[in-house]
């Protein structure tokens, strides 16, 4: 099962690679050892799934799509952060793979470095892909690659804990009603909510639904709306509605807390659905509420299938055939079920829900989700995110109040993104 932990390692790695990325701009343009006859031979494919060997369904699907395109695909799986480094280096050396599957925040980094083709160049059809999912791979009006699926965040709840507190989950529609529910749970002897506030991209990922749900924008970290979001989390910790452990919790450790059966709510992702079904917890799922009601936009996770720049642009036609095969409706459904993703097209989503009705709230959550690099943030996002998670840490730990923590974060982000 694929979780966001893989994704957050990549985004963190981007911060350290920012300088190298800028140095690479304009350096791409080599073929990956391709044949002069672009319609045949071997095509290279790199992905972030080293856990899948040649006998896996994923590897067999890639092989099948290559065969249908008339070529042999040589696939290599790398750890996510390692894949980003290797993709940057390969682009610098003019030896990029023909196809590259990367976590969506990395797309803008590689595109800005001049290492990726856009869909106009390859002829890839993105007309059926949901706009908010596609936006994670867009930069300066161009689209770089095709998403193979998306995951996002919502609130799992424990029906037994809520019943004991006399709370109807349908009553949770905004921040006030959620806080009232947590108060009632605490008064009944239960535990409130667990989430990940760790000082990494994973912490930012979990904070973003509340941040965006307040109406705040990532270009103004110290806005009144932003302060209200951080004050919400901080108040929960101070009142004991959320445990002190959230400061160091990853999404995995916060999920383990929920699986004890003691907590009313857990903010977590699509990838935990199979686990909660096996746990025996009588659970439900609701969207994370915005401050004043409605669903908050949660960030999208998931990978984009991109076509790196090659010196022989005749290779793009075959690469696009492979890309198109892998992202056809039937193959998306098979792939995204394996990877615990929601498909990026309505047709594929409908097939997923028909097979597993429990995915329906996740399709809704993904429809409300938003790419982390959207709003034309591009490679500024990792720099802003780093300051955001630092502010969360400073406030949750009590070393700063929410306003001061975010003022400091805004100053540092403004300096880093000049």
Residue count of the chain, please give it. 418
4-149+300-359 matches 153-298+377-416 in fold: yes
Query: Which pLDDT does position 376 carry in this prediction?
Result: 82
Query: Which pLDDT does position 76 carry in this prediction?
Result: 97
pLDDT value at 22 more than 70: no
Q: Which residue has the higher pLDDT, 115 or 22?
A: 115
Give the tens place of pLDDT for each residue, 144-171: 999 999 999 999 999 999 999 999 999 9
Enter the tokens of residue 100.
């590259």
Query: What is the average per-residue pLDDT within 372-401?
Result: 94
Query: Which pLDDT does position 10 carry in this prediction?
Result: 34
Q: pLDDT over 90 for what percent of the chain? A: 84
Angstrom distance (rounded) from CA 8 to CA 21: 18
Average pLDDT of the chain? 90
Query: Which pLDDT does position 49 carry in this prediction?
Result: 92
Domain 4-149+300-359: which CATH number of 3.40.190.10, 2.40.160.40, 3.20.20.70, 1.20.1340.10: 3.40.190.10
Name the residue with tokens 């995915």: 359
Q: Are residues 28 and 117 in contact, defined by beta-carbon separation less than 8 angstroms?
A: no
- Mapped onto helix, strand or coil, the DSSP state of residue 93 is helix
Give the tens place of pLDDT for each residue, 248-301: 999 999 999 999 999 999 999 999 998 999 999 999 999 999 999 999 999 999
Is residue 191 within a helix (H) or strand (E), and if so which, with residue range? strand 191-194
Angstrom distance (rounded) from CA 83 to CA 137: 17
Residue 361's φ and ψ, nearest 5 degrees, are -65, -25
Query: Which pLDDT does position 14 carry in this prediction?
Result: 32
**CATH for the stretch 153-298+377-416:** 3.40.190.10
The residues spanned by each domain of the chain are 4-149+300-359, 153-298+377-416
CA 101 from chain centre, in angstroms, equals 14
Angstrom distance (rounded) from CA 260 to CA 281: 9
194 beta partners: 266
Give the tens place of pLDDT for each residue, 189-225: 999 999 999 999 999 999 999 999 999 999 999 999 9
Residue 77's φ and ψ, nearest 5 degrees, are -105, 130
Give the tens place of pLDDT for each residue, 54-64: 999 999 999 99
Q: pLDDT over 70 for what percent of the chain? A: 91
- Mapped onto helix, strand or coil, the DSSP state of residue 367 is helix
Query: Which pLDDT does position 236 carry in this prediction?
Result: 98
Q: Which of 191, 193, 205 is nearest to 392 (CA)?
A: 205
Given pLDDT bands bounded at 50, 70 and 90, which one contains residue 15?
very low
Q: Are residues 307 and 328 in contact, defined by beta-carbon separation less than 8 angstroms?
A: no
Is the Cα torsion angle 80, 83, 84, 85 positive or negative in sign?
Answer: positive
Is residue 269 within a helix (H) or strand (E), and if so which, with residue range? strand 263-269
pLDDT value at 125 more than 70: yes
Whole-model pTM? 0.84
Query: Which pLDDT does position 2 carry in this prediction?
Result: 35
pLDDT value at 409 more than 90: yes
pLDDT value at 29 more than 70: no
Given pLDDT bands bounded at 50, 70 and 90, which one contains residue 36?
low
């Amino acid at each position: 099962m694929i979780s966001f932990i893989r994704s957050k390692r990549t985004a963190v790695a981007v911060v350290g690679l920012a300088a190298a990325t800028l140095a690479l701009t304009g350096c791409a343009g080599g073929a990956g050892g391709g044949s002069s006859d672009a319609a045949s031979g071997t095509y290279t494919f790199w992905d972030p799934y080293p856990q899948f060997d040649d006998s896996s369904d994923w590897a067999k699907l890639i092989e099948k799509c290559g065969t249908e395109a008339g070529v042999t695909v040589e696939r290599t799986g790398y750890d996510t952060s390692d894949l980003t480094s290797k993709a940057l280096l390969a682009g610098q050396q003019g030896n990029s793979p023909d196809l590259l599957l990367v976590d969506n925040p990395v797309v803008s980094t590689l595109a800005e470095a001049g290492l990726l083709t856009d869909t106009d160049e390859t002829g890839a059809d993105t007309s059926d892909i949901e706009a908010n999912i596609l936006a994670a791979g867009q930069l300066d009006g161009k689209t770089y690659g095709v998403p193979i699926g998306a995951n996002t965040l919502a609130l799992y709840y424990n029906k037994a804990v809520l019943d004991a507190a006399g709370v109807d989950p349908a009553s949770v529609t905004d921040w006030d009603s959620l806080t009232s529910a947590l108060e009632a749970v605490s008064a009944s002897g239960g535990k409130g909510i667990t989430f990940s506030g760790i000082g990494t991209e994973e912490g930012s990922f979990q904070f973003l639904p509340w941040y965006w749900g307040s109406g705040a924008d990532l270009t103004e970290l110290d806005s009144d709306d932003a302060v209200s979001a951080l004050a919400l989390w901080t108040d929960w910790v101070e009142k004991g509605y959320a445990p002190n452990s959230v400061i160091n919790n990853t999404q995995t450790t916060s999920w383990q807390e929920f699986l004890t059966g003691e907590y009313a709510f857990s903010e977590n992702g699509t990838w935990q659905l199979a686990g909660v079904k096996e746990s025996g917890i009588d659970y439900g799922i609701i969207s994370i509420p915005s401050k004043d009601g409605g669903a908050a936009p949660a960030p999208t996770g998931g990978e984009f299938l991109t076509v790196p720049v090659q010196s022989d642009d005749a290779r793009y036609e075959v690469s696009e055939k492979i890309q198109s095969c892998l992202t056809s409706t039937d193959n998306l459904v098979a792939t995204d079920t394996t990877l615990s993703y929601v498909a990026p097209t309505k047709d594929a989503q409908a097939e997923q829900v028909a097979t597993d009705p429990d995915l329906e709230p996740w399709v809704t959550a993904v429809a409300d989700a938003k790419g982390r690099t959207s709003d034309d943030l591009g490679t500024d996002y990792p720099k802003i995110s780093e300051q955001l998670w630092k502010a969360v840490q400073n406030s949750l730990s009590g070393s700063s109040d929410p306003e001061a923590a975010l003022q400091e974060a805004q100053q540092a982000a403004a300096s880093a993104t000049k």
